[in-house]
Structure 1
Amino acid sequence: MRFVLAIVAFVVAAVMIVAGIAQRTVFAPPTRIEAATSVSGDPRYLVVDGSVLNAHPGQQTLTVTGAPDSAKQVVAYGRTADVKAWLEGQKYVAVGFQTATGKLTTKSVTGKPAAGHSEGDSGSGSGATATPAPTPSAAATTDPSAAASPSTTADTAQVSGPNPAGSDLWLEEFDGQAAQVTRMNIPDDVSVIVASDGQKAAPSKVAVTWPVDSSTPWAFPLIIGGLILLVIGIALYLWGLYTHRRSRGPRRKSGPKMPKLPKAPKYKPTAMIETTPKGRRSTRRARVMLPAALVGALALTGCTAGTDAATTPSKTSTPLTTEAPSGKGQLPPAVTVPQLERIVKRISESAAQADAQASADLAKVRFVGPALQLREANYAIRAKKADEPALPAIPASPIVLSLPQATDAWPRTVAAVIQSPKDAKGTAQAPIALTLVQATPRDNYQVEYAVSLEPKAKVPNLAPASIGSAVVPPDSKLLALPPSKVAAAYGDILMNGDASTFAKQFNAEGDTLRTQVGAEWKAKQKAAVPATASLAFATAPGTGTDVAMATNDSGAIVWTDLQETQTLKVVEAGAEVSAGVTAAALTGAASSKTGIESTFGYQLAFYVPPAGSDAKITLLGFAQGMIAAKQIP
């Protein structure tokens, strides 16, 4: 019997070991699922929707090949609505997924105008240098590898378009060889755009790969169990062999058998024992037996009742829900934090290049409005005045505060506060607050305001960057002062000081600009002018856009532009006034016999409390400088 059990153990062990090894080798499941397609017609753009990439669970791997120039191929992804807005008016191939066959499909599409973007707009705002738009090429490059497949549609027209490389709209971008194989894990509302430089055809072959769970949980237990059973079989075999050898020794003959013992008579109860006793003793026994039976029955009943109670559901109070409100219908933030970090880094590099060369043309790449106006004037002054200090550099990082606008239309506004590094002497410098504006989907973000924060400035509570903030209309009456009137009111304070009608609405504590160029400073400047000349000051709102973004307390942070004109006029015939070194650099004349008119620009950032609040309007930061000068005719 032991030999039989050993053989069975050997057979079962062999089967288990072979089955375990086969699961890891011959019958091993695939490690990935792949769907691929080829595109014909040399289209300039391919768009892979997020639903295609999420056709199977797991991290997606996108492989693109067949580009005419692999060094110029681009793979980027962004929100689907943003990708389609960027492709407005452009023909592209939409890559889909057919669930029944598990293959990719292609379809030629012409981009439609984005919401909040005029249909006739080509995508470049005034004064904005967006993603460079290439010029049409005479002949389109045809890739021999871009053969038509059954899933492709009609050929797409070979028309050059804008270059997607370097656009601030993308959440992530891969260029050149890095774009050939990209791993991502994006949601359904994000799409991928594949292109070259807009002039040449996009990569013609696209493949998407998903990982598959190829684990074999039974392989290891089968192999280990088979080895254990093999050891047991060997033990049984050795035991049987040992017993068999012992049983082969000499045997003795047995003696006569012992006689069988007589059987004992069967027990038969007598009538006296079987008779049930009667009387009081019998009653006592019955009483004793009845409670015992009841206890047993109750015990059994109790067990059954306990089982029913455990399996029968009982009503409980409904717990209060503490889940966050659904984000359905909520507008997305204009940018994500990683996206903003990349944008600020690009702006910092562009600004450093423009500042180093004092080039107004380079400054126009990333500056617009009051920020550009101040930099252009600074470059002009530095060209004539060597000791004129440059404007504060735009640091690349770290971003200590980000406030994107919650919107899906254009223009878009984003505010960011960046910590400035220490200067050469190790002195801490004020953080730089930027107001960035994106005019159209194809424009990059540009700096409209760049101010240095006040030392005692306290930024109010703001919405988190993952939610974003709403833009307050310039004429909103829900604030202590409409954003469009803040510049004029503050200008009146700079002119008249505490005598201004708006003085009580503004906080004077910590306002260093009022100390530098306020009413007291102006009075001293007028007193220093000789009798042969006169000095007059005037303020007016600048040409910049008033930008207001809501805070959590129903107030707003307002960025505005104020211009102050200083008119130094000759009042006595034959007299002459000095223009000053800075004004002379802009006018080209060191003195004038008529007068000099200098214009200073003030970029201002305020916190404006809600209407009815006891809080005052507070200056958070500013930037100032001469922006123009001319001789009085």
Structure 2
Amino acid sequence: MRFVLAIVAFVVAAVMIVAGIAQRTVFAPPTSIKAATTVSGDPRYVVIDGSVLNAHPGQQTLTVTGTPEPGKQVVAYGRTADMKAWLGDQRYVAVSYQKATGKLATKTVTPKAASEGSGSGSTSTSTPAPTSTPAAGAATGTGSATTADTASKAGPNPAGSDLWLEEFDGTAAQVTRMNIPDDVSVIVASDGTKAAPSNVSVTWPVDSSTPWAFPLIIGGLILLVIGIALYLWGLYAHRRSRGPRRKSGPKMPKLPKAPKYKPTAMIESTPRGRRSTRRARVMLPAALIGALALTGCTTGTDAATTPTKTATPLATEAPDAKDQLPPAVTVPQLERIVKRISESAADADAKASPDLAKARFVGPALQLRTANYAIRAKKADEPALPAIPASPIVLSLPQATDAWPRTVAAVIDSPKDAKGNAQAPIALTMVQETPRDNYKVEYAVSLEPKAKVPNLAPASIGSAVVPPDSKLLALPPAKVAAAYGDILMNGDKSQYASQFDSAGDTLQPQVGAAWKLKQQQQLAQQFGNTSALSWTPGVGPGDVLAMATNDSGAIVWVNPRETQLHKVVEAGAQVIPGATTAALSGIASSNTGVESVFDYQLMFYVPPVGSKDKIRLLGFAQGLVAAKQIG
């Protein structure tokens, strides 16, 4: 028997080991699924929808080849709506996935040309509706001429766009790994003038694990060991059984059987009472069990038919995620944008080039930097404006929107200066006018030392833009610049003084009413009444930007302006401007007078209407932006 069991163990062990090895070799499942296609017609842009990339679970690997210049190829992904807005009227090839065949298919899409003048006077940019065509260039009549004209013109270059969530350029774009949702699409292109890569393939990983291979191999080895043990045990027992045997002795005699006991009739009738008692004892529990069973059935029936109250949960409608507007940028996207702005600003500052500054600055921020470059060209000791740090971003406030223009605010911590002194963080307010424009800095301010920023919406949700004429704030954003300008002119006598908190305001002591009065007094003491110094408040060209806070207030950016007039009063007198004004205007002295224009980039917190809080200055930047001689 032991030999039979050993043979069975050997056979089963061999089967298990062979099956386990076969699962890892011969019958091993594939490690990936691949779908590929070749794009014809030499299109400039190829778009792969997120649903195509999510046709199978797992991380997607996109491989593109076949471009004339591999060094200029670009693979980027972003929100599908943003990508279509960026493409605008550009023709592209859309890649789809066929579930029946498991292959990729292509279709040429020609968006409708936007109507002339659309969007004028509107703050949003309409997205052209795409119209599919059966093949590239397949059109007739006027449509074919339009398509030919569009194809002949150079398209925009997707490289370096702030709209993308991630971007791969050059050889790094040949094989890219990503894991994107359905509402994100991938664009494959060159530089907008050359054809996009023509060979596109997507690979998905497949679960190739063989969970039974290892247990089968281990179990087979264990059975093999057991079979060997049984075989050795059988050999040992067989050899032992072949030894000499001893003869058994005489058998013991059997004992006589005892007579069986047969009770008489008299004895049988004696224990009848006990038997009857025993039967009664048996019958009584049986009766009790029957009664209890009947009683239990009756009770159970009553309990089952008795109505009971069940708490009904109240249905509450959760907000639909589709109704929530997405944030203009994600945090990684904003970090990349700020880094690009920092590099561009450093290049422009090093070369003192206004043209380079225009790539990333606009409005008040550009005007102040341009003036600083002009002053430093003639005045070597003029300090440069604070550099734009690349990181770390300590606060992100994107606008929640799907239209343009878009506004994003960020606060970046500044490193210590050359002497080891701490510097104030820089707050940037960036605006993207159209889908193809990059974000440009409109306000760049240094935060106040005691600035207390209110609670803001998380970066993953974004904030709403408050209209300039909103009456839900303690002061409409459009009136904040003029109100603060009046305070700088009149100080505590201003009608708006009670609405602003001057406790942490470090700008008023520098340029406020007390400082202006002191400048006039010093001028009179030195030169008598030969000249007069005066200021006129105004509003600069910067946009009024406001973004909501969690307490229904708003962060407001404004651009007030002051014009300083140093005018000759006594005939024959001259006005000698300061070194900074002279460097910018090119005037060493004037017989009539000099006009200097100072701009202020201000960042305020404006509380909601009815709040006991006051308007607080959170940060500012100020400087001379223009100077000239008056007639």
Q: Flag whether TM exceeds 0.5 (same fold).
A: yes
Please say if residues 124 and 443 of structure 1, whose CA atoms lie closer than 8 Å, have aligned partners that are also in contact: no
d(CA) in 2 for partners of 1:403, 1:273: 108
Q: Which of the residues 499, 502, 510 maps onto 2:493?
A: 499
Q: Does 2:416 match 1:389?
A: no
Residue 545 of structure 1 corresponds to: 543
Residue 195 of structure 2 corresponds to: 201
Offset, 1:618: 0.6
Residue correspondence of structure 1 range 601-612 to structure 2 within 5 A: 601-612=599-610
Q: Does 2:88 match 1:94?
A: no
Q: Does 2:622 match 1:624?
A: yes
Residue type matched to 1:570 in 2?
Answer: V
Q: Which of the residues 328, 339, 345 maps onto 2:339?
A: 345
Q: Does 2:354 match 1:370?
A: no
Residue 246 of structure 1 corresponds to: 240
Offset, 1:248: 2.8
**1:353-377 CA distance string (max 9 Å, x none):** 0011110000000000000000111
d(CA) in 2 for partners of 1:297, 1:69: 96
Residue type matched to 1:433 in 2?
Answer: A
d(CA) in 2 for partners of 1:451, 1:331: 28
Residue correspondence of structure 1 range 455-466 to structure 2 within 5 A: 455-466=449-460
CA separation of 1:175/1:321 partners in 2, compared to 1, >3 Å: closer, same or farther? farther
* Partner SS, residue 335 of structure 2: helix
Residue 572 of structure 1 corresponds to: 570
TM-score by length of 2: 0.88
Residue type matched to 1:109 in 2?
Answer: V
Residue 143 of structure 1 corresponds to: none
Q: Does 2:463 match 1:469?
A: yes
d(CA) in 1 for partners of 2:260, 2:21: 66
Residue 331 of structure 1 corresponds to: 325
Offset, 1:23: 0.4
CA separation of 1:325/1:628 partners in 2, compared to 1, >3 Å: closer, same or farther? same
Residue type matched to 1:497 in 2?
Answer: G
CA separation of 1:587/1:227 partners in 2, compared to 1, >3 Å: closer, same or farther? same
* Partner SS, residue 335 of structure 1: coil
CA separation of 1:568/1:2 partners in 2, compared to 1, >3 Å: closer, same or farther? same
Q: Does 2:19 match 1:19?
A: yes
* Partner SS, residue 321 of structure 2: coil
CA separation of 1:267/1:238 partners in 2, compared to 1, >3 Å: closer, same or farther? farther
Residue type matched to 1:379 in 2?
Answer: Y
Offset, 1:216: 0.6
Residue 587 of structure 1 corresponds to: 585
Please say if residues 456 and 510 of structure 1, whose CA atoms lie closer than 8 Å, have aligned partners that are also in contact: yes
Residue 419 of structure 1 corresponds to: 413
d(CA) in 1 for partners of 2:424, 2:430: 19
Offset, 1:263: 7.5
d(CA) in 2 for partners of 1:112, 1:296: 87
Offset, 1:110: 2.1
CA separation of 1:603/1:112 partners in 2, compared to 1, >3 Å: closer, same or farther? farther
CA separation of 1:242/1:280 partners in 2, compared to 1, >3 Å: closer, same or farther? closer
Residue correspondence of structure 1 range 209-224 to structure 2 within 5 A: 209-224=203-218
Residue 286 of structure 1 corresponds to: 280
Residue 450 of structure 1 corresponds to: 444
Q: Does 2:107 match 1:82?
A: no
CA separation of 1:225/1:321 partners in 2, compared to 1, >3 Å: closer, same or farther? farther
d(CA) in 2 for partners of 1:464, 1:445: 20
Residue type matched to 2:171 in 1?
Answer: Q
Residue 135 of structure 1 corresponds to: none
Residue 31 of structure 2 corresponds to: 31
Q: Does 2:179 match 1:185?
A: yes
d(CA) in 1 for partners of 2:270, 2:74: 105
**1:331-381 CA distance string (max 9 Å, x none):** 000000110000000000000000111100000000000000001111111
Please say if residues 124 and 440 of structure 1, whose CA atoms lie closer than 8 Å, have aligned partners that are also in contact: no
d(CA) in 1 for partners of 2:322, 2:432: 25
* Partner SS, residue 12 of structure 1: helix
Please say if residues 123 and 442 of structure 1, whose CA atoms lie closer than 8 Å, have aligned partners that are also in contact: no
Offset, 1:4: 1.7
Identity across aligned pairs (percent)?
Answer: 81
Residue 42 of structure 2 corresponds to: 42
CA separation of 1:247/1:349 partners in 2, compared to 1, >3 Å: closer, same or farther? same
Offset, 1:539: 0.7
Please say if residues 72 and 196 of structure 1, whose CA atoms lie closer than 8 Å, have aligned partners that are also in contact: yes
Offset, 1:95: 0.7
**1:449-506 CA distance string (max 9 Å, x none):** 0000111110000000000000000000000000000000000000000100100001
**1:505-533 CA distance string (max 9 Å, x none):** 01111111111111111111122233111
d(CA) in 2 for partners of 1:478, 1:604: 21
Residue 53 of structure 1 corresponds to: 53
d(CA) in 2 for partners of 1:274, 1:361: 131
Please say if residues 84 and 111 of structure 1, whose CA atoms lie closer than 8 Å, have aligned partners that are also in contact: no
Residue 129 of structure 1 corresponds to: none
Please say if residues 123 and 443 of structure 1, whose CA atoms lie closer than 8 Å, have aligned partners that are also in contact: no
Residue 429 of structure 1 corresponds to: 423
Residue type matched to 1:46 in 2?
Answer: V
d(CA) in 1 for partners of 2:91, 2:259: 111
Offset, 1:246: 2.6
CA separation of 1:265/1:61 partners in 2, compared to 1, >3 Å: closer, same or farther? farther
* Partner SS, residue 575 of structure 1: coil
Please say if residues 555 and 608 of structure 1, whose CA atoms lie closer than 8 Å, have aligned partners that are also in contact: yes
Residue 557 of structure 1 corresponds to: 555
* Partner SS, residue 328 of structure 1: helix
Q: Which of the residues 201, 226, 240 maps onto 1:232?
A: 226
Residue 438 of structure 1 corresponds to: 432
d(CA) in 2 for partners of 1:298, 1:167: 84
Please say if residues 84 and 112 of structure 1, whose CA atoms lie closer than 8 Å, have aligned partners that are also in contact: no
Give the root-mean-square deviation of aligned CA atoms: 3.1
Residue 143 of structure 2 corresponds to: none
TM-score by length of 1: 0.88
Structure 1 gaps of 5+ residues are 126-151
**1:537-593 CA distance string (max 9 Å, x none):** 111111110000000000000000011000111112221111221111122111111
d(CA) in 2 for partners of 1:322, 1:272: 88
Structure 2 gaps of 5+ residues are 122-133, 139-147
Residue type matched to 2:401 in 1?
Answer: T
Offset, 1:609: 0.3
CA separation of 1:523/1:54 partners in 2, compared to 1, >3 Å: closer, same or farther? same
d(CA) in 2 for partners of 1:602, 1:276: 126
Offset, 1:245: 2.2
d(CA) in 2 for partners of 1:455, 1:421: 15
* Partner SS, residue 471 of structure 2: coil
**1:293-352 CA distance string (max 9 Å, x none):** 9689989x99xx99xx9xxxx998678999985523100000001100000000000000
Offset, 1:249: 3.4
